[in-house]
Amino acid sequence: MPIDQFLAELDRSVHDALVVLGDAAAAGEPGPDIGIPELLATALKKELEASEEAALWMTREHDVDVKLALARQCGDEAKHYRLIEVRLRELGVDLTAIHPLEGGPSPMFRFLAELGTTVERVAAGQFTREALAQVHNRVFIDYCEAHGDHTTANLYRDVIQPDEAHHHDTGRRLLARLAVTEEARDLARKASARTLAIASEIQEMVRLKKGIARAPGC
């Protein structure tokens, strides 16, 4: 199978899953005690974990191109964390009351941290999770706009979303070079599918247990 055909196949499988996840994310409303500040606060843990994952993977990589891509991603996710903190302060949130490390690593972090090959990490992290982040962010942007918070919407639309798009596009470019054998492609498919499955499980869990819906990604 030519690499373009493989990437088109992976694009379709991710797109189809993201349509379902995006529709589910947009269908519900947050609980009565949850608004934009509370939804923003949930993004801090995601951004911190995304930055840490990139840093962790970078130490394990021998591919310079991948190392540098991860370095940029690590910095971008840390930048997002700080920008969200700034916006939370503007909204009057006491940041000392937020503990993003509380509860330990998320199921997504635990899965991604244990991936053992470069092609799996790129397929799961940059290619799939960053595409997922864009879907969740679009839902959150619409929610912010509907509630008159154009400043938060613009932060995500103008700053965070372009970074996530860059990460995803970088993942696609790297996969074109890395997924050249059937074994590598099978690893990429499985890592991508598992990432989406975990995302679906987490999304439903937080909706049912915490009333969180329309939350941003990372």
State yes or no: pLDDT of 27 exceeds 80: yes
pLDDT score, position 209: 73
Write down the H helix ranges in 114-160.
118-121, 130-146, 150-155
- With CA atoms as reference, report the closest residue to 46 among 83, 101, 94: 101
The tens digit of pLDDT for each residue in 29-63 reads 898 889 999 999 999 999 999 999 999 999 999 99
d(CA 192, CA 208): 25
Packing angle, helices 182-210 and 3-27, rounded to 10: 0
Distances (CA, A) of 206 to 25, 31, 129, 187, 194: 11, 11, 18, 29, 18
Maximum C-alpha span of the chain: 54
Just give the CATH number of 3-22+31-210. Answer: 1.20.910.10
Cα three-residue angle 134-139-140, rounded to 5 degrees: 95
Q: Residue 156 has what DSSP assignment? A: I
State yes or no: pLDDT of 78 exceeds 90: yes
State yes or no: pLDDT of 4 exceeds 80: yes
Cβ proximity of 197 and 89 under 8 Å? no
| Tokens standing for residue 180 | 């050249």
The tens digit of pLDDT for each residue in 115-171 reads 999 999 999 999 999 999 999 999 999 999 999 999 999 999 999 999 999 999 999
The reported pTM is 0.94
Mean pLDDT (the chain, rounded): 95
